[in-house]
Amino acid sequence: MKPFDLQVNGYAGTDFCSTSLNAEQLHHACRALADDGVDGVLATFITDDLRTLKAKLSNLVRLREEDELARQVIAGFHLEGPFLNPKPGYIGAHEPELVRPACLEDAQGILEVGEGLVKLLTLAPEQDSGGVVTKFLVEAGVVVSAGHCDPSIAQLKAVIDGGLSMVTHFGNGCPVELSRHDNVLQRFLSLREHLWFCFIPDGVHVDFFALKNYLDLVGVDRSIMTTDAISAATLGPGMHEISGISVEVDEAGVSRRPGSANLAGSTVTMPRILHNLSQELGLSEEEIIALVDRNPRIALGL
């Protein structure tokens, strides 16, 4: 088994989203990931203003190129934002004032700076008028995923027709209270045969009984497990950062912005995920391999 994690914001004290990320920090995180049995990751950047986001991308492109271990561990980048839904509940821990409607110029600029390493981009379909940016990204070889969003069925079908193929951390990035029937979760599930569903199996982002229900409905063959790890992963409780945002990790390992109920990434590790899938969900080794190894690679075309 060679786990591949397509959403890692940071690890073991290193924040991939930091403007001051340096070579030593990057190597340390990659060594810690490799030591925990992770074969590859997509280093993940959350919403920021475009100039800062591009500077972060450029810096990590350079640092990765200079470090053999980093090239082995970091297969590419995942951009979670900035084309997200800014409404409370849907925006989660992202800064609402920094999100923006999707446009071709911005998408092109991001890909240019990423130098072929942008493999996955999470956006809100309702922020992509006519699905133009989704089509452009897919044609450029980037997997497009829906997240932090509230699209109508029509909007969702339109971006799926344009190539959108995934849902980011399903069960999250939406308000705690939703309409019983017409809600974003039900809309995604109604089109499940067209989508990969990503989950964070830490027992916090999705209760294990609910995750079991989702797996039964979606199927192991269309599901992917990810950590959504932040720099606090492996470090324990205390104050940490993600992309310059203060995050408080409690004794249970749950990370939130101080004073907010919104979750801010996760501190779960891949070894813990493997334990949870086996012991909490009772999955077989073959099913676990599909969820953490085979499926993410297939979904990304790796």
Q: pLDDT by residue (tens digit) across 101-149?
A: 999 999 999 999 999 999 999 999 999 999 999 999 999 999 999 999 9
- CATH architecture, domain defined by 4-300: Alpha-Beta Barrel (3.20)
Phi (first) and psi of residue 136, to 5 degrees = -60, -45
For the chain, what's the residue count? 302
Residue 85 · residue 126 · CB < 8 Å: yes
**Per-residue pLDDT band at 263 (split at 50, 70, 90):** confident
pLDDT value at position 237?
A: 87
Residue whose C-alpha is closest to residue 184's, from 160, 215, 148: 148
Give tens-digit pLDDT for 192-244.
Answer: 999 999 999 999 999 999 999 999 999 999 999 999 999 989 988 888 877 77
* Average pLDDT of every residue of the chain: 95
Residues with Cβ < 8 Å from 96, sequence gap 6 or more?
86, 87, 88
Q: Which amino acid is at 121?
A: L
If you average pLDDT over residues 173-186, what whole number do you get? Answer: 92
pLDDT value at position 80?
A: 98
Question: Long-range CB contacts (< 8 A, 24+ apart) of 139-145?
Answer: 139/163, 140/111, 141/301, 142/111, 142/118, 143/119, 143/299, 143/300, 143/301, 144/120, 145/120, 145/121, 145/196, 145/198
If you average pLDDT over residues 44-65, what whole number do you get? Answer: 97
If you average pLDDT over residues 34-46, what whole number do you get? Answer: 98
**Per-residue pLDDT band at 1 (split at 50, 70, 90):** very high
CA distance 43 to 60: 9
